[in-house]
Amino acid sequence: MQCSDGHVRWGVFGAAGVLFVLRPDGAAPTVMLQKRSAFSHEGGTWSVAGGAMDEGETPYEAALREASEEVGDVPEGHRLLGEYVFAPADDWQYTTVVIEVDGPFGRSMNFETDAVEWIPVDQVTERPLHAGFAAAWPHLRAIVDGAI
């Protein structure tokens, strides 16, 4: 859609994604990153699973739906740690929910995802990141670190 700030963005109702966090026993947390395919916006970069919200969906619901479509079923017993909202325009926002899971999961489920990897939080910025995710990462990292 054409947003009030002049930019074109995906999702008439906004968009949402999910940063999955895993805390191995005694080790630093890892996060799931998705390598975006060439068919996706900023293909070849790393980000979180996510996409356009449907009418009536909450960001949490949309993030989990998009994740299940792109990287597989979200394990039961996950725990919401927080969320970060990027709102560059009056009529559009992207919400990233941060969810802790008990074990690793995930694989490419469709054409949007080239790879799925669990990355130590200290190594996230070593990857070529999607610009939006790169801007959100300091806020998301604070949520991950604050949940320890």
Residue 131 included in any domain: yes
CATH of residue 57: 3.90.79.10
What mean pLDDT is predicted for residues 121-141? 95
Residue 8 included in any domain: no
Which has more confidence, 43 or 108?
A: 108
The residue segments making up the domain with residue 84 are: 15-146
Count how many Cα atoms sit within 13 Å of the Cα of residue 73 in the half-sphere of its side chain: 3
Which has more confidence, 117 or 15?
A: 117
Residue 12's pLDDT band (cuts 50, 70, 90): low
Residue 2 included in any domain: no
Residue 10 included in any domain: no
Q: Which residues contact 85 (CB under 8 A, 6 or more apart)?
A: 59, 93, 94, 95
The count of domains in the chain is 1
Residue 102 included in any domain: yes
Residue 1 included in any domain: no
Residue 25 included in any domain: yes
Residue 48's pLDDT band (cuts 50, 70, 90): very high
Single pTM value for the model: 0.91
The percent of residues in the chain predicted with pLDDT above 90, rounded, is 64
pLDDT per residue as tens digits for the range 65-116: 999 999 999 999 999 999 999 877 787 788 999 999 999 999 998 888 889 9
Which has more confidence, 27 or 117?
A: 117
